[in-house]
């Protein structure tokens, strides 16, 4: 076997070994986070309320 094939075989074995202990999350568990990230990225900050306490600007209490 060539070096590339042994690398792929080793990676495949490592993935199988790791997913036995920690199975991948179901798609319905991750889709909400992806959609929320997209929506927050394209939505003005003013719709999420006042976040001035976390701005760390001069003159604020943060």
What average pLDDT score do residues 32-49 get?
70
Cα distance between residue 55 and residue 31, in whole Å: 29
Cβ neighbors of 9 (< 8 A, separation 6 or more) are 1
Structure tokens at 49: 């309320």
Angular region, 49: left φ>0, alpha ψ -120 to 50, beta rest: left
What average pLDDT score do residues 14-40 get?
74
pTM recorded for the entire structure: 0.32
pLDDT beyond 80 at 15 = yes
- Domain assignments of the chain as residue spans, ordered by start: 1-35
What average pLDDT score do residues 12-29 get?
79
Cα distance between residue 51 and residue 54, in whole Å: 6
Q: Between residues 51 and 35, which one has the greater pLDDT?
A: 35
The pLDDT, as a whole number, for residue 62 is 46
């Amino acid at each position: 076997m060539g070096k590339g094939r042994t690398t792929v075989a080793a990676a495949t074995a490592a993935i199988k070994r790791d997913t036995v202990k920690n199975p991948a999350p179901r798609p319905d568990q991750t889709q909400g986070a992806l959609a929320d990230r997209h929506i927050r990225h394209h939505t003005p900050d003013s719709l999420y309320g006042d976040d001035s306490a976390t701005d760390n600007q001069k003159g604020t209490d943060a």
